[in-house]
Amino acid sequence: MALYVQKFGGTSVGSPERIRAVAEKVKGFRDRGHQVVVVVSAMSGETNRLTDMAESLNASPDPREMDMLLSTGEQVTISLLAMALQELGVPATSHTGAQVGIHTDNAYTRARIQRIETDDLRADLEAGKVVVVAGFQGIDEEGNITTLGRGGSDTTGVALAASLGADECQIYTDVDGVYTTDPRVCSKASRLKSITVEEMLELASLGSKVLQIRAVEFAGKYNVPLRVLSSFEDGPGTLIVAESEKDEDSMEEPLISGIAFNKNEAKLTLLNTPDIPGVASRILGPIAAANIEVDMIVQNVAPAGDYTDFTFTVAKSDYRATKKLIEETILPDLGGGELRGDDNIVKVSLVGVGMRSHAGVASKMFRVLAEENVNIRMVSTSEIKISVVIDEKHMELAVKALHKAFGLDQADIEED
């Protein structure tokens, strides 16, 4: 007998029919003698619908009220799933995050889980019940409802699996595993049998929304066996593994495991800023103070030694506020310079632990993009990834060309 935590995403619980199908899947596991904790998301589109409604009433809604609102989406699906299970003769109880005791910090809309109470859950499991838990939500120390950021039900699933010592956390979604890139953008993408925690962390942080990054962090930190699979069809899915557990005798380690892209960033360039010590901090200091996160940063070498250009990216949602801050505070403080902004960009990234032992990935990437006439605006690298910023209109072309050039197209990969 095993204990599984099974998380079902929005599409998987998108209608009463889908909820019934989830109930049947869960029943199947229970009939085979396993204990099951189910975590569900809101029905697909619901979190967006609630967000739009809030923004139609208030341009910048109070984060506490936002979390109060968004947490309702998951409350609908837990109760409906418990009813569907009961209808199939499976004893089941639903719990909100607060009822379980999923304690978080008080950072509304992006709270972090600090501690989970498991006594009640264990008692329900021991009593033979399926436990259905609302994903994406918790409570802070004062009892306020918090949410964990978009995609946060993945994190609820993995955190529960860690707290309960589950045998596996299964993330059921609308694709049958983690692919070499988003299969909706590149039809030749192929499913990976396994991927290392480190690579999955990079892919998630660089824009692949198949798993929320915090979920992968939890899995790595607490050694939770984590699998991504389809809620629509049976199959082995993709296992997220520690690097040491990678199948030694599988084919030679590919150089690149996956390609991620992120359209949610915008680029800002300050032209002709003085090239003297302290300027970077005078630019980024006020931005950090305004709680705006900066991602890539590039400072040009000043040709004449007096002036330089400084470019960085922020989330698209912070673009307008950052522009305003630069125009009204930073440029006057620097005593000059000119601002250029662009929010029609995409960051495309190659990820693979194989990069550590191979040179030439960057030059090959640049050559492939040059052959497609794609201009590279910014570059950043780390041990296992290379990212470039290009114009958004070239995204699909670039992803497909890189996917092919690095041998990831379906026909080029061994079948399992």
Q: Look at residue 179 and give the partner it binds from Mg ion, ligand ASP, ligand ADP, none, a contact being a CB closer than 5 to 8 Å depending on partner kind.
A: ligand ADP
From the CB of 75, what's the least distance to ligand ASP, in Å?
11
From the CB of 154, what's the least distance to ligand ASP, in Å?
6
Q: What is the rounded distance in angstroms from the CA atom of residue 158 to the CA atom of residue 163?
A: 9
User: How distant, in Å, are the alpha carbons of 2, 77, 181, 195, 210 from that of 231?
Assistant: 19, 16, 19, 20, 13
Residues that bind Mg ion (CB under 5 A): 9, 151
What are the backbone angles phi and psi of residue 303, rounded to the nearest 5°? Answer: -65, -45
Q: Where are the beta strands (DSSP E) in 66-198?
A: 92-95, 102-104, 113-116, 130-134, 137-139, 145-147, 168-173, 194-196
Q: Look at residue 152 and give the partner it binds from ligand ADP, Mg ion, ligand ASP, none, a contact being a CB closer than 5 to 8 Å depending on partner kind.
A: ligand ASP
Site string for ligand ASP, 22-51 (x = CB under 6 A): -------------------xx----x----
Helix (H) and strand (E) counts in the chain: 13, 20
Residue count, binding to ligand ADP (CB under 6 A)? 18
Binding residues for ligand ASP restricted to 128-167, rule: CB under 6 A: 135-136, 150-154
Q: What is the rounded distance in angstroms from the CA atom of residue 151 to the CA atom of residue 263?
A: 17
- What is the chain's percent helix, strand, coil content, to nearest 5? 40, 25, 35
From the CB of 204, what's the least distance to ligand ASP, in Å?
13
Q: What is the rounded distance in angstroms from the CA atom of residue 401 to the CA atom of residue 197?
A: 26
From the CB of 9, what's the least distance to ligand ASP, in Å?
6
Instruction: Name the DSSP class of 151.
Output: T
Binding residues for ligand ADP restricted to 246-275, rule: CB under 6 A: 258
Binding residues for ligand ASP restricted to 51-80, rule: CB under 6 A: 73
210: contact with ligand ADP by CB under 6 A: yes
From the CB of 203, what's the least distance to ligand ADP, in Å?
6
Instruction: Name the DSSP class of 18.
Output: H
Q: What is the rounded distance in angstroms from the CA atom of residue 213 to the CA atom of residue 315?
A: 16
Dihedral angle computed from the Cα positions of residues 387, 392, 393 and 397, in that order, rounded to the nearest 10 degrees: 20
Site string for ligand ADP, 23-62 (x = CB under 6 A): ------------------x---------------------
Binding residues vs ligand ADP (CB under 6 A)? 9-12, 41, 151, 173-175, 178-179, 181-182, 184, 208-210, 258
- Kindly list the residues in this chain that would bind ligand ASP in the complex (CB under 6 A): 9-10, 41-42, 47, 73, 135-136, 150-154
